[in-house]
Structure 1
Amino acid sequence: MLCENCGKNEAAIHLTQIQNNEMTTRHLCEVCAEGMGLSSGSSASAPLADFIAQMGKGMLAETVSQPGTCPACGLSLADFKKTGRLGCPRCWSVFDASLRGLLRKLHGGTQHSGKVYLPPHPSESDRTARIVSLRRSLTRAVESEDFERAAGLRDQIRRLEAGQEA
């Protein structure tokens, strides 16, 4: 898709705006977007990173004897507090104490204790699978013109859908 502004370059920025309850979408190349004061996604900060950066500012007083920078990527704790982003996986262990404090503030703890996914009631999923299987069999019975078998399958499907066991 070409840029709507210059019509020459490939559109890389897709800007959606809502004004007066009307949504407009513009497709712009990077050059035209920069000319309009928009930046590409590489330098834009994410809302979560901004939030973490704000929370990190409160950590400054609580930090005790933290190392200055990560030996792997060179990120400092001050850089993390500004951006809300870690530089590499090793940053987790280097800034462990500060991150634990931040996670405790954000989540109320440092251990995951969230909800566990439970599938739907097993008998419900078994019943649904049985209905799907019966419908396939019904289709094959109709295609082969075995109408007596098709009628029996239809009745089984109706009973299962009504909540009765077949």
Structure 2
Amino acid sequence: MDTTSSHREIPMKCDECGGENPVIHLTEVEDNETRTLHLCAECAEARGVHGTPVPENFLLAGVLAQIEGSGTKVNPGPGSEGSGSGRCDFCGLTIRGFKESGRLGCPHCWSTFEGQLRPLLHRVQGAVQHVGKVYLPPDPSASEREKRLEGLRRKLDRAVDLEDFERAAELRDQIRSIRKAAT
């Protein structure tokens, strides 16, 4: 299994000053808009943002090594004897391979190594279930408004074709009114 990346990494720059190697990666959520800022230490300090910088080459493998060294017990999961010899039947990844790379080989690895992964995920993320973003359903009135505008545009085109300019002006004003109300 090849774990090398096929894309060339582009050096990241600080979003504030343009300097090299930002050390703070801040995600701001405001009015359901998400924005990620990459800040160097100086710009982060100027914004009052403090935190433990995450190394550019951070891998889960480092966290695993810390857990192993701390005496934290990790329960072996199905397909594992707990000695690092468990193997995914689908891709062949071993728990030892996961600990070295910090990456699972395939979706089936979760089933194979679940016993080891659950406590680890709980410790690293504070939960074992990914919640993700919550998306708002589309506004039904917006699609109704678009249908109405489409109908008015067709009527406007027809009125212009028939040279009924008074009717065309009325339709144009209705379209403007609906657009203005939508903003």
Structure 1 residues 17 and 59, CA gap change in structure 2 (3 angstroms): closer
Q: Tell me by how many angstroms 1:154 deviates.
A: 0.7
Amino acid at match of 2:156: L
Larger Rg: 1
CA 1:139–1:122: 2 relative to 1, 3 Å = same
The alignment covers a number of residue pairs equal to 129
- Using a 3 Å threshold, how does the CA distance of structure 1 residues 92 and 118 change in structure 2: closer, same or farther? same
| Superposition deviation, residue 157 in structure 1 | 0.9
Retained in 2: the 8 A contact 1:134–1:153?
yes
Question: What is the DSSP-based 3-state SS (H/G/I as helix, E as strand, rest coil) of the residue aligned with 2:59?
Answer: helix
- Aligned match of 2:76 in 54, 65, 72? 65
What is the CA–CA distance in structure 2 between the aligned matches of 1:93 and 1:15, rounded to whole Å? Answer: 32
1:84 counterpart = 2:111: no
Partner of residue 130, structure 1: 148
Letter aligned with residue 63 of structure 1: V
Q: Summarize the Cα distance change of 1:124–1:65 in structure 2 as closer, same or farther, 3 Å threshold.
A: closer
C-alpha distance in 2, partners of 1:113/1:18? 28
Would the aligned equivalents of 2:76 and 2:113 in 1 still touch at CA under 8 Å? no
In structure 2, do the counterparts of structure 1 residues 125 and 48 end up closer, same or farther at CA, with 3 Å as the change threshold?
A: farther
State the Cα distance separating 1:79 from its structure 2 match: 1.0
Shift of residue 115, structure 1, vs aligned partner: 4.1
1:26-65 mapped onto 2 (5 Å cutoff): 50-60=58-68, 61-65=72-76
> What's the % identity of the aligned pairs?
45
Deviation of 1:64 after TM superposition, in Å, equals 2.5
**Preserved CA contact (<8 Å) 1:131 1:157:** yes
TM-score normalized by the length of structure 2: 0.52
| 1:40-98 CA distance string (max 9 Å, x none) | xxxxxxx9994333333344343223412223332111211221221233211110022
- What residue in structure 2 maps to residue 111 of structure 1? 129
| Partner residue in 2 for 1:5 | none
The 2-side partners of 1:14 and 1:87 are apart by 21
Residues 126 and 59 of structure 1, relative CA distance in 2, 3 Å threshold: farther
State how far apart, in whole Å, the 2-side matches of 1:159 and 1:135 are: 13
Counterpart position of 2:40: none
> What corresponds to 1:99 in structure 2?
117
Query: Amino acid of the residue matched to residue 166 of structure 2?
Result: E
How far apart, in 1, do the equivalents of 2:127 and 2:135 lie?
A: 21
RMSD of the TM alignment (CA)?
3.8
